[in-house]
Amino acid sequence: MTHESTAVGLASAYSNATTASGDWWRDAVIYQVYVRSFADSDGDGIGDLRGVRSRLPHLARLGVDAVWLTPFYVSPQADGGYDVADYRAVDPLFGDLADADELVRAAHELGLRVIVDVVPNHTSEQHPWFRAALAGEPGARERYLFRRGRGADGSLPPNDWESIFGGPAWTRVADGEWYLHLFAPEQPDLDWTHPEVTAEFDSVLRFWLDLGVDGFRIDVAHGMVKADGLPDIGRGAQATLIGTEPLPFFDQDGVHEIHRAWRRLLDSYEGARIGVAEAWAPSSERLALYVRPDELHQAFNFRFLNCPWDPGAMRTVIDESLSATTAVGAPTTWVLSNHDVVRHVTRYGGGAQGLARARAAAMLMLSLPGSAYLYQGEELGLPEVADLPPESRQDPAFRRGRRQQIPVPAVDPAPGPGPAAPGIIAPRPGEPTPPQSAPSPHSQPESGAGPQPHACCGPQTRAGAGPGPDPLTAPQAHAPTRPQAETGTGAQPQACCGPEAEMGGGAGGDPLTAPEADGQDGLRDGCRVPIPWAGAEPPYGFGPVGSWLPQPPEWAGLSVAAQTGDPHSTLELYRAALELRRAMPGLGAPEAGPSPDPRGMRWLPSPDGVLLFTRPGFACTLNTRPEPVELPAPGRPVLSSAPVQTDGRTVRLPPDSCTWWAF
């Protein structure tokens, strides 16, 4: 039995109760579109909103419920658009506001909801507010966290906080004051105690809700409130502490009042508009606070993504995640890949083994109670592109050692990002003058202190690295790692969202020639290569001409067109799984509200290396072993990631496979 023998007839027999009730988000499958790499409509090699709109039928046919768009707002692109200069305008790189409006309308006509990013912890340094702050406009600095420095002459940072991207979290401006930036210097943190900040973001949310979006993915939802007095931490390597212990700049209790206010705002609109927290907390219980009934609807659960190919670890993560969210009556979310981590085909070992495990993991994820997030191209089985040439790489992390001084905007704080006027913010103590290099086509600006990757999630450490902020060895929040050797237990997951010891690589050296620059270590470009749609050669239908990152020649066989209709393809496996997920009443979300066990999920005894659980009318088996395993058949097979052999009484599960059963 192979996955092409799916019992499609089930689709007409059942409907998902949660979807019918209007709480669509409780069991939604949400597809993340990295706009720059999805589809290019105008031939500049960069994806845009019109391109996304043209490919929405693919998502409708795939069977997802909603699409999440990464930032497309006006931005200098110092951190992939997570440095916003105008929250109410579309960057010309991606189109205009009319394109956004038409995309939302087209998605709704296809039955797809639209979620957009909002970035409330910080703005771009080119935001009019920050330009006004640097220009000395009265009261402008009160919207940000400006402080006098320590020491007799104020030449030391106000406290010992470190940027998630390495180095101090403070930059000194020309008049001697310092401003806080938990991420890149181009991303100054806002002060959420200021009433204008609160009012501004209420207005921003209403702007996009009025345009018709169905919700927001809230970037750094745990970071807007800092502890009173901004106390020292007293330790270095602070990025490695994120998600493991309390920190004065993350997960402060005050953020929950912000999210409660936003929930009231969302609830004032018709159509179940939702908020999704990208949040890190020291425990599952703390994370669950973000999804209490009067707060946000979902919070990203990165522990599943970070889990090794090990059944014991998987079961622990599943149980703890469900327990925490069940206690507050919220659904759990599951995710395997996104725009900041190595694709899970590669994380699970690469090649045939990595693909087999990735297919099985996707089926496991889609069978669990709650909501699932898919990253563009995973339905095609795309691997990480680990051999991009240096001249094509765009992630600012690649040149993170090439720090430059930050220009000060003109004295006239004119609206809009605009070009910066001459002027220099004081460099960090001991920082060398950076070497210069020629930009590549479509390269992102390298103004500022070499922006680091955006920390949507948690930390990682590099074995042998010292506590200092060397740009190549300091902990990086989103530093993809080279896949480990195939040892039989599988490659360890990329530590986008948790500590990881990365072996190899020394400190110092030119970032273009040091060992860390080989492969994709510390970079995010490999998961952002534009996806293939059709054709025998690049750009595979991505756009009229080339693509901003080169696509591998072997991707011709992985395109949407090549896989459509092939019952053994990864694309058709995803389509079948999503159809069955809608059709089978035992899949999807648990009932709302706390109860002893609203999930209807029960673990059953199984051989070593195998997970077996049931839900109403449904069973799932996952074999993580490198060899087949025999066990009693738990029902009638309806879908499998690899061919299974069964006589109706016993089943022979293939290695690295997942099978769904009806009974």
Nearest to 416 by CA among 82, 131, 202: 131
DSSP codes joined into one string, 43-106: SSSS--HHHHHHTHHHHHHHT-SEEEEPP-EE---TTTT-S-SEEEEE-TTT--HHHHHHHHHH
**Residue 125 is a catalytic residue:** no
pLDDT at res. 27: 93
How far apart CA 459 and CA 74 sit, in angstroms, is 28
pLDDT at res. 375: 98
Edge-to-edge order in the sheet of strand 610-615 = 602-603, 610-615, 618-623, 657-662, 636-640
**Residue 219 is a catalytic residue:** yes
How far apart CA 383 and CA 380 sit, in angstroms, is 9
Tokens linked to 511: 């970032």
Q: Are strands 657-662 and 636-640 parallel, antiparallel or unpaired?
A: antiparallel
pLDDT at res. 599: 53
Q: Which residues of the chain have pLDDT under 70?
A: 1-21, 396-522, 588-599
pLDDT at res. 58: 98
Task: Name 645's Cβ contacts closer than 8 Å, sequence gap at least 6.
Answer: 1, 651, 652
Three-state DSSP at 466 gives coil
pLDDT at res. 398: 65
Amino acid at 173: V
Nearest to 460 by CA among 447, 486, 479, 441: 479
Residue 420 φ/ψ, nearest 5 degrees: -80, 145
In this structure, the dihedral spanned by the alpha carbons of residues 290, 292, 298 and 302, taken in order and rounded to 10 degrees, is 50
- Which of 278, 521, 579, 656 is catalytic? The answer is 278
Q: pLDDT tens digits, residue range 460-476?
A: 332 233 333 332 223 23
- Which of 219, 251, 295, 516 is catalytic? The answer is 219
